[in-house]
Structure 1
Amino acid sequence: MSSTLFIGIIIGLIILLFIVGAPVKPMKYIGKATIRLGIGALLLFFLNVFGGAIGLHIPINLFTVLVSGFLGVFGVGSLAAIHLFIL
């Protein structure tokens, strides 16, 4: 399944939940999680842009976005440390 189709399905389901009347609390958690994942992807992007000068590149995939999104700067730092010292 392509990523654009997957994103379209998720957006459609969220809009359907708004129309049907989803409970507010779960929607709040989904919104917070989405924002955290977006921030995690941005942190990894900027790490790749600025870390490219020293040969540091962390691939942006579901696992790394989850780690950096939910752990924040510490998650990005741990991913960078794993890349530098272990890989």
Structure 2
Amino acid sequence: MTSGWLIALLVAGMLLLIAASKSVWGPIRWLGFGVMQLVIGAVLLFFANLVGELADFHIPINPVTALLTGLLRLPGLAALIVIKMWMI
């Protein structure tokens, strides 16, 4: 139930941001950029998990890890791998 409220709050905040801005395209452009980075990160994590399957290694694909990998690309992926290996 709390995740539903959190999603509703985020959507309402984005709509308020779009309504309050002078330019409608600015926030939409940032939202598109974030979604694009999320998809790029998910694809990178998918391929890393595909290769990691050989060594029984898996990094979960969730919005946080995908966005981190999407924004930082290979250094972000390397950081996630090092963190995962250090935690094990």
* TM more than 0.5: yes
Aligned residues with identical type, % of pairs: 35
**Partners of 2:38 and 2:63 within 8 A in 1:** no
- Structure 1 residue 39: deviation in Å? 0.3
1:67 alignment counterpart: 68
Deviation at 1:72, TM superposition (A): 1.3
Please state if 1:81 is matched with 2:85. Answer: no
Q: For residues 51-72 of structure 1, what are the alpha-carbon distances to aligned partners after superposition, in whole Å with 9 as ceiling and x for unaligned?
A: 1112221011122112112211
Unaligned runs of 5+ residues in structure 2 are: 2-6
Could you tell me which amino acid in structure 2 is paired with residue 65 of structure 1? A
- What SS does the corresponding residue of 2:66 show, helix, strand or coil? helix
Instruction: Give the unaligned 5+ runs of structure 1.
Output: none
1:56–1:80: 8 Å Cα contact kept in structure 2?
no
1:27-46 correspondence to structure 2 within 5 Å: 27-46=28-47
Provide the C-alpha distance between the structure 2 equivalents of 1:79 and 1:32, rounded to a whole number of angstroms: 22
Q: Identify the residue that residue 56 of structure 1 maps to in structure 2.
A: 57
Give CA-to-partner distance per residue, 1:13-46, whole Å, 9 cap, x none: 99xx8xxxx7111111111111000000000000
Q: What do you get for the CA RMSD once the two structures are aligned?
A: 2.4
**1:85 aligned partner, one-letter code:** W
Equivalenced residue count is 73
Question: Given the two structures, how large is their TM-score scaled by the length of structure 1?
Answer: 0.69
- Residue 72 of structure 1 aligns to a residue whose secondary structure is helix
8 Å CA contact 1:56, 1:83 repeated in 2: no
> 1:73: how far off?
1.2
